[in-house]
Amino acid sequence: MVVKSKLEAELDQKELDQNAQDSELIKKYGRRAAKALTMAREHRVKRYKDFDIVIGHNDEYIIEGKSCTCNDFLYALSRKGKKCSHVIAIEIAETEGLIDNIGAWYQDVRELL
């Protein structure tokens, strides 16, 4: 019989809690939540002095408040009051402490890239 340490038990519980939270997000937002979880956990959420950026598969998207520059948000979701995967990724990254704080203005950094 294998006996788990207290730390191992806590880690197992944390993983179960995380899986339950992930399931709730996916139930609420569908495929957008699955994409958002990936983006947040791959550290593709960047916070600049002027706004947030989420690095998608094809482009970088600017998020200000609950607005995003992606086509999904601009052409479909904004009229329905729903969130795109990039806005959801920001929320996940904030909750899980996964935002990369750049500490510079985006335009200053963008010029260097």
Count how many domains the chain has. Answer: 1
Q: How far is CA 46 from CA 10, 13, 98, in A?
A: 30, 29, 9
In whole angstroms, what is the distance from residue 4 CA to residue 10 CA? 10
85-104 pLDDT tens trace: 999 999 999 999 999 999 99
Q: Which domain holds residue 39?
A: 6-112
In whole angstroms, what is the distance from residue 42 CA to residue 34 CA? 12
Asked if residue 56 is part of any domain, the answer here is yes
Asked if residue 58 is part of any domain, the answer here is yes
Determine the average pLDDT of the residues in 24-33: 92
Asked if residue 66 is part of any domain, the answer here is yes
Asked if residue 1 is part of any domain, the answer here is no
Asked if residue 75 is part of any domain, the answer here is yes
pTM above 0.85, yes or no: no
Determine the average pLDDT of the residues in 33-42: 96
In whole angstroms, what is the distance from residue 38 CA to residue 1 CA? 36
